[in-house]
Each structure stands twice: as C-alpha cells, then as structure tokens.
Structure 1
Amino acid sequence: MTSRIKQALPAMTVLGPAMALLAAIVFFSTQSDRFLSGQNFSLILQQVMVLGVIAIGQTLVILTAGIDLSCGMAMALGSVVTTKFAVDYGLPPSVAILSGMLVCVLIGFVNGALVTSIKLPPFIVTLGTMNIAFAVTQIYSQSQTVTGIPDAMTFFGDTFQLGATVITYGTVLMLALYGLTWLFLRETAPGRHLYAVGNNPEAARLTGIATGRVLLGVYMVAGLFYGIAALLSVARMGVGDPQGGQTDNLDSITAVVLGGTSLFGGRGSIIGTFVGVLIVGVFRNGLTLMGVPSVYQILVTGILVILAVATDQLTHKKG
C-alpha cells in the first residue's frame, strides 16, 4: 500500500498546477471569445516552445537542488553563433547548428565543473556565466541582429495542418522532448540517480552514486536543451537575436516552480514543468487578448512565482 502511495505522489504534485491551469483557462474563456479556439491554443504552444525547452534543462538542474541563471543568455549566444557561422562563414546549416549547440553545452560544462570541483554555489556560478554569455553575445554580434539565414534553419518554424488548426514543427519537437525526458527520469537508472542526488547528496554518495559526475552531466545536458531552444528561437524569429533570452532565466524558473518542482531538490516532475509552462503561456495570451499592457503581465508573472515559491517553502517545512 505504501509503495502504491509513493508511486502516486508525482501525479499528485501535478494535480495542483493542473487545477490552476484549468482555472486560468475557464477565466480567460469568459473574457474573450477568441480564447477557446484550436488556433489560439496552437499559438500559445508556439509562443512557449522556446521557453518550454529551456524549462526542461532548468528542471533537471533544480531537481538536483541547483539553479541556472545562465540559461537565457546561453540560448541567445547559441542562436547568434548558429546564425553567424551560417551567414558570415558560409558553413552548412547542420555544422552551424551543431556549433551553436556545442557552445551551449560548453557553458553547461563550465557551470557543472565549477559547482562540482570548486563547490561554488550554483546561484553564483550561473550568475557569473550569465553575464559572461551576455557580454560575449553582444561583442561577437556587435549587438546586431543576424539576418539572411538559410531556409534549413527555419524548418521548425514551418507549419502543417491538423484539421482546421495550424501547428508548427517546433511545437511537435518540444512535446517530443518532454516525452523523452519523462521516460528518462521515470524509467532509467541515471534518472533515479538525479532524484537521489537532489534529495540527499551525501546519502546518494554513500550508496555508490558518483554525485559529481551526475551534477556535471545534468548541467551539460541542460546546456544541450538550451542549444535546442536556440535553434527553435532562430526558426521562430527567422533571425539570430543577440537581445533574446534576457527574461527566459526567470521565466523558466517560474514555470518549473509553478509546475510543482521543489527548489530544495529531489521532488518534482517534468510533466508538472510542462503544465507550468502552459500556465505562463495561458496567462500572457489571455491578458493580451484582454488588452492588458505587457508591464502588468510581468507583474502577474512575478506574483505567480512568489506564490509558487511560498507554497514550496511551506510544503518543505511541513514535510
């Protein structure tokens, strides 16, 4: 009986965010006739596909009781490297895309190495690499948007018809990545090790888990997700934008915490993160349809994250 209850816990942690998402959908459907339409929901998914992929990497980091403030700037640097390598140096799109992803993985490696080898706090490490990535992006791009990119790089921004609804290939990729990550965390030994390290790193070490290797791998895999998000950003915008990603670090943390993942590590689910991403997307879309200025949308997002963190803190103390 106890084991059955424990198996049900991840689903229960998603229940609260799912109810909040449903309440938001019901509210906005009463405020705008355009909200409850297949095309609008497809638009919401398009609007959050970059954030959604970044949030996967952020989830993995937070599950280990860490945090990554560099994710948005890593994504921006990856998008600029990808587009400049293709446009300025004439490299094949596949090579340029791989180069952008490798840059993001390298940032993840630096984060993980500093956290594991020197034992620096993740907050400080990623705050530093965030500023470094921002500066490198501006210097390398000369703060200029990269245009004239090859058509192959915009594939995930292309659409296909599903009934009367237009869906982007980037949305499909995002959903596939969530499915693969769910399988990894639920069905593989490395996924269970990740939870163990986040829950109690010393106990995990004593059971034979190489905690340093797990943490380094988590930050590098997170960097890979930021590289994929960079490709999706290029596909959606059609340019390499050095000004992109500046709020994605806080937005991704908001989505992860809204989805029920604990900032104390070891508890949460990737499905909850997806629900959290949808909550952020639904609120922004709904408020836009209501004609609410963007500054108030930021205000609402800030309130949501404070409520989610407060709930996590109270739950942790109660536990």
Structure 2
Amino acid sequence: MSTAAATPKADTGSKMKLPPVATLGPLIALLIAVVFFSTQSDRFLSVQNFSLILQQVMVVGTIAIGQTLIILTAGIDLSCGMVMSLGGIVMTKLAVASGMNEYLAILCGILACMAFGLVNGLLVTRIKLPPFIVTLGTMNIAFAITQLYSGAQTITDLPPAMTFFGNTISLGGAALNYGTIFMIVLYIFMWWGLRDTQPGRHVYAVGNNPEATRLTGIATDKVLLMVYVTAGLFYGIASLLSVARTGVGDPNAGQTENLDAITAVVLGGTSLFGGRGIILGTLLGAVIVGVFRNGLTLMGVASVYQVLITGVLVILAVATDQLSRKGAR
C-alpha cells in the first residue's frame, strides 16, 4: 500500500471518529460562560473587555498551538512555558546587553526555543523516553538556564522591534494589539496546514495509530521530530509576543503557561490520547480560560479559586473525552 493512499484514510478515520461533543463542546462552553459572567458583571459584556481578554490570551494561545501538535501525537510538553521564558530572555539580553541587532536577537531567541524542541524530539524518538518525563526534565533545565543567563534580573529598555506586537489598533471600537491579530493568523494557517497538507495528515495518523502508520511507509520518528521542533518554533513566537506585551524580558515568566496551554488544548476538544482534535478548538479553549479568569476577576473571586476552577474544567474536559472514546467503541 502506498504512503499517499494510506495517509488520507488515516486522516479521514480520525475525522469520522471525532464526536460532535468534541467539535461543539468548546463553543457551547464558551457561550455558557459568556452568558453567565454577563449576568454577574455589567463590565463583562463590552467590546473593550473582550479585546482585553484576547490580549491576555495571545501568549498562552500561541503556546497552545505547539502544545496541540504534540498532544495530537499522543504526547505532552511540560516544558513549553519555561522554554518560552528562555527564548524571551535570550532575545532581550542579546539585544540590550550585547548590543546585537534586534532582528538577529529575535531570531536567536526563537532558535533557542526550537533547539529545545529538537532535544525533546530526539529524546522521544531516538531513546524512546516518555514525553512526560523528557519535558519534565527539560522544563527544569530551561528554567535553570533562564535564571543563570539573566542573573534573575528583568531586562528593560527594549528596542522597538521587540515591542511592536504590543502596539494596538482600533477595530470596531475595540483596541486590538498586533500580537492578537498575529495569533489569529497563526491559527488559521495551522488549521489549513493540518487539514489540507500531507504533513498535517501525518500528524493525525501518527497520533491515531503510530504502528499502523509506520507500516504504511510513513517515517513516524521524523513526523514526531518535526512536531517537537515546530512546537518549539511556536514557543519562540510566543516569547516575542510575551516580551511585546509586557515590554520587558522577564526571567520569571512562563511558570504557569504550560498548564494553561494544556488546559486550552483539552478544553478545545483535542484528545489526550492523540489523533483527534481541531486546532481552532484550541483557540476557543484559550479564550474560555481567558473568559473564566476575566469574569471571575470582575466578580472579585480570589486568584486561588480561579486556579481551582480551571483545574475542575480540565478534569471535566478529560472525562468527557474518555467517555466519548468509550462511546465510539
């Protein structure tokens, strides 16, 4: 059987097995959350507040693109937040402390994130270590390197290119920054790539049944390696967006973004067991997280309870995924 013939079948199967709840669930959950919080606060249901929510989720939303690719292959990446933080420190310190050209410094920061993706991918594909263990280790390594390289100091006085995506424009009375628009463009591009290109179909096939995919002639290890490196690319982009939003290089950034990104992916309907999910669902999942945190803040709920509710949402989403898998058998 040829590779070209087998790949669409694996992809079609993953789409046909996708339960309606995984497609409509995130949108329904978002609508319910919006209706609820609009009854709790007069300030919630406003164009300005929704633009603020989008600005708040642009970093996690971009990280979640890379996390989605990995979870689609039945993996997980705990290092994404720390790798993102490292990328931000590398680009800002090279530009400010070393006087490097700002665009070259940005490239170096992104490449640093991709290098971590490459290391993760090689450990998973060549040594066959579990992704959970690999990325748990690289998470701590990235954190240590970030603290050592930055001297645990925040980097300020950034060049204009690093803060560009933090600039805002007015659209329909809403103030959107360029980073939010760029994040949405990235989602549209990845939606097309996963749906209509051969590499995208290979990602679904590997997550759905890696052994069957290997037997059709697809180099599953190369697919996995590509996924981890590509995820690193998105973490690097997220590091630039984080720097642009805050206006500084913060060595303490990224400490909760890994769990927030995983939450967004799971709430968006992507299965933790691999092979099922829609990238646009991840965008909805990221917005759901942002809506809950924004709404709870407007209600005066303490941040510790916001974390508690987010944890409950993740458990419910995973339980729904597990039940849908049993129902599809």
**How high is the TM-score relative to the length of structure 2?**
0.94
Are 1:108 and 2:117 matched, yes or no? yes
Counterpart of 2:176 in 1: which secondary structure?
strand
Q: 1:148 to 1:266 in 2, by over 3 A?
A: same
Give how far 1:10 is off. Answer: 7.3
Equivalents in 2 of 1:148, 1:283: separation in Å?
33
Question: Which residue number in structure 2 is paired with residue 169 of structure 1?
Answer: 178
Unaligned runs of 5+ in 1: none
Query: Which of these residues, 250, 257, 280, is aligned with residue 248 of structure 1?
Result: 257
- C-alpha separation between the residues in 2 aligned to 1:5 and 1:116? 23
User: Corresponding residue for 1:207?
Assistant: 216
- The answer on whether the counterparts of 2:14 and 2:276 sit within 8 Å (CA) in structure 1 is no
Match of 1:98 among 101, 104, 107: 107
Query: Are residues 31 and 148 of structure 1, via their aligned partners in 2, closer, same or farther at CA, if it must alter by over 3 Å?
Result: same
- 2:6 — aligned with what? none
**2:272 equivalent to 1:260:** no
1:130 matched to which residue of 2?
139
Q: Report if aligned partners of 1:153, 1:235 keep a CA contact under 8 Å in 2.
A: yes
For residues 194 and 11 of structure 1, the distance between their equivalents in structure 2, rounded to whole angstroms, comes to 21
Q: Normalization by structure 1: what TM-score?
A: 0.97
**Residue in structure 1 matching 2:290, options 281, 295, 301:** 281
Paired position in structure 2 for 1:193? 202
Shift of 1:151: 1.6
Quote the Cα distance in structure 2 between the aligned partners of 1:152 and 1:197. Answer: 38
Question: What is the CA deviation profile of residues 210-258 of structure 1, one whole-angstrom value per residue up to 9, with x for unaligned ones?
Answer: 1000000000000000000000000000000000000111111111001
Aligned-residue sequence identity (percent) comes to 71
Matches within 5 A, 1:1-319: 6=15, 9=18, 13-319=22-328
RMSD: 1.5
**Does the residue aligned with 1:263 lie in a helix, a strand or coil?**
coil
8 Å contact 2:14–2:204 — kept in the other structure? no
How far residue 110 of structure 1 moved from its aligned partner, in angstroms, is 0.2
Identify unmatched segments of 5+ residues in structure 2.
1-11
**Cα distance, 1:163–1:209 mapped onto 2, change above 3 Å:** same
Equivalent AA in structure 1 for residue 186 of structure 2: L
Change (3 A) 1:8 1:36: farther
Task: Indicate if the aligned counterparts of 2:18 and 2:277 stay in contact, CA closer than 8 A.
Answer: no
What code does the residue aligned with 1:172 have? I
* Deviation beyond 4 Å, 4+ runs, structure 1: 3-12
Superposed displacement of residue 164, structure 1: 1.6
Count of matched residue pairs:
317
SS at match of 1:257: helix
CA contact (8 A) 2:61 2:283 kept: yes
